[in-house]
Chains A and B, each alone.
Chain A
């Protein structure tokens, strides 16, 4: 059980500068998720913490100790790999006990610890099987069991669920989360899937291009994303990011129409903005109501919700940052039809406002 502190971590592979100065503190017992698009450096960071790669600069502290020069075994970390990395020629029991065996523990100790972990993970019946005889989810659990058995200070997870099908993924998410609640071991979890991040994390670290964009609890990141990248990354379906400019207390939207701004916002007259409107916050209003007028293009009905994709009335208008549509998510069964004209409205306090040039929150 320990806190993990990264100070000033840099990493270059030859001429490629992958990690560009990262400072992260993870508290003892916290479940932290590193999330970001491919190539942002999250897996590299994890491997640096694990000791599989060395940083080009900066320090890693586990607990009070600087572990830069320590091999993985002595850092007190255990890792669950994306591809599980089970030893194909060993039984489940041997797989889970391998680390203990080479550390010289006695047979009885090993058997006891393995049995305990197997019980916790529901693997009791499978101890004599070989990895090739197991399903994906079972292999996942063996990988976790192997990590658990060594009773580490920090658990590291490298995209462990990406090889599972969707349904299994949802199930395993819950299991990992409940396991964390039981064991309370500090965990660092890497994923590219922001839903996993949101549902599992105590603290999320959003990474892009080797730098930390924002750190905080899921609620913080959802309610107050600090820039357009985090705003567009967190939340599903993705936040609508549209271009606008300031006119008194209104934002005149390039797409068409206007959106009310909150009172405490500090903007300059005529300033170019990027507005962040979450699909779930947009309300569908009659075509003549104040808001953003548009035309319904696609309706995606998924049982509980309907995702409405709308196009601008004037097709020639330069619209959103990167997309020609605004999406709204509604929970009620509305009588909207494709081709119908509607207006989209939103409460001013739910509008995220970013400076169009810098992308920073205002």
Chain B
């Protein structure tokens, strides 16, 4: 389409640009600004320069929340990637009622997180919860699940994996479906076993898509809030407090807007840094233009 000096399409994007400026760009600028102040709601704002940031770097609770976030994210990205890819390979085969079953498999990621988190809370209950009952059927003793500081994060990862593996599966499945058929025929002709085909042909060809899923998963895992808030509130104690939870506390329990803004900025830097890492990995895995 020919673009004259100012593209006529500019008018099309103008309303959206206005909205985005208002609800995204403006808050962002505001956050950056606010992070330089000490400001508790109801009090006066005092300029503090980089004071908030230096304080954060020495703040034990914050640093622990960073650790929790990294652990949670690492697990919540790795597990769905593996399971989701396996699921995609399975759902790529034809079988009876495949469409319906795929729809059922996809339900967890569309359901309201808060509602699901409530059900999981009930399932995790040490005395009444159904999970301990199932464990007892297997002959394993009851677990404290989310009431144990050691296990809390693992349990939350389990819920996250349950909920978001379908998204990974969909992305990888889309990739699988778009792969050309004939390298596989050629491999069959050359006598590659199923395992060899998977290892040398399928997985390398799928890598770009798996990386896309990894990036999506990374960002979503870092942003996880609803499930953690409902199930553990960051506990027991602060055992499962991620940066997001810590942020919420600072902003809406303690009303420390200045400090919270600083946390937001640090968090964003972390998100961007990790995303860049994955983007770079993705570029390396690309074998097409």
Contacts and interface: CB of A to CB of B under 8 A. Distances in A.
Q: Do A and B come into direct contact in the complex, CB within 8 Å?
A: yes
Interface string B246-289: 00000000000000000000000000000000000000000111
A50 B189 contact: yes
Interface in B142-193: 180, 182-183, 185-193
A83 B185 CA distance: 11
A85 B182 contact: yes
Contacts of A146: 186, 190
Query: What class of interface size applies to chain A in its complex with B?
Result: 20 to 34
A178 B260 CA distance: 76
B258 to A, nearest CB: 50
A132 B192 contact: no
Contacts of B192: 98, 102
B191 A99 contact: yes
B115 interface: no
Interface in B202-226: 204-205, 207
A52 B185 contact: yes
A74 B192 CA distance: 12
Interface string A38-49: 000000000000
Contacts of A26: none
A88 B205 contact: yes
A73 B288 contact: no
Q: Is the interface of B mostly helix, strand, loop or mixed?
A: helix
Nearest to A52: B185
A146 B186 CA distance: 10
B209 to A, nearest CB: 13
A99 B193 CA distance: 11
B189 A86 contact: no
Contacts of A325: none
B189 A72 contact: yes
Nearest to A73: B191
B183 A86 contact: yes
Among B189, B193, B207, the one with the most A-chain Cβ atoms within 10 Å of its Cβ is B189
A113 to B, nearest CB: 14
B183 A102 contact: no
A85 B186 contact: yes
B201 A71 contact: no
Contact of A98 (B180, B190, B193, B287): B190
17 contacts: A50-B189, A77-B189, A79-B186, A79-B189, A81-B185, A85-B185, A85-B186, A86-B183, A86-B186, A87-B183, A87-B187, A88-B183, A88-B205, A89-B205, A98-B190, A102-B190, A102-B200
Given A73-B189, A98-B200, A146-B186, 13 more contacts: A52-B185, A72-B189, A72-B190, A78-B189, A81-B185, A81-B186, A86-B183, A89-B207, A102-B191, A102-B193, A102-B200, A132-B287, A132-B288
Interface of A: 50-52, 71-74, 77-79, 81, 83-89, 98-99, 102-103, 130, 132, 146, 150
